Amino acid sequence: MPYWTDAAWTARIDEPFRSDGEFWTGLAAITDALISLAVAAVVAVVLAVAGTGAWAVLPFAVPVILFVRAGRIASRSSRRNRASFDDPHAWRDAERIAVATAFVRVLSRRRRPAS
């Protein structure tokens, strides 16, 4: 599991999500993709204003890659966690609550530099 999931606020997340490392990794990946999308939009506007034409779409390559990675991780986590619930609606509601509870904290987490 990511290093920051031992924070006290993660205790508010119900099982099976709390102990699922891929749930946390997928949630972190989607927040990183959203941040990179915002940065890409700013860079694209700067490039478009500078008159670079088609080069203005190039910054969106990174967010696309990050969204695909996040989707794959989240898909594996969802498949595994879905098996813990008898009703697909109960699983969907529980996952939504877990994501809503953790999203802002994960978005604002301290990020380690790549090592």
Percent of the residues in the chain that have a pLDDT greater than 90, as a whole number: 40
Higher pLDDT, 104 or 110: 104
Give the count of beta carbons closer than 10 Å to the beta carbon of residue 62.
16
In terms of pTM, does the model score above 0.75? yes
pLDDT per residue as tens digits for the range 28-73: 899 999 999 999 999 999 988 888 878 888 899 999 999 999 999 9
Peptide linkage before 16 cis (omega within 30 of 0): yes
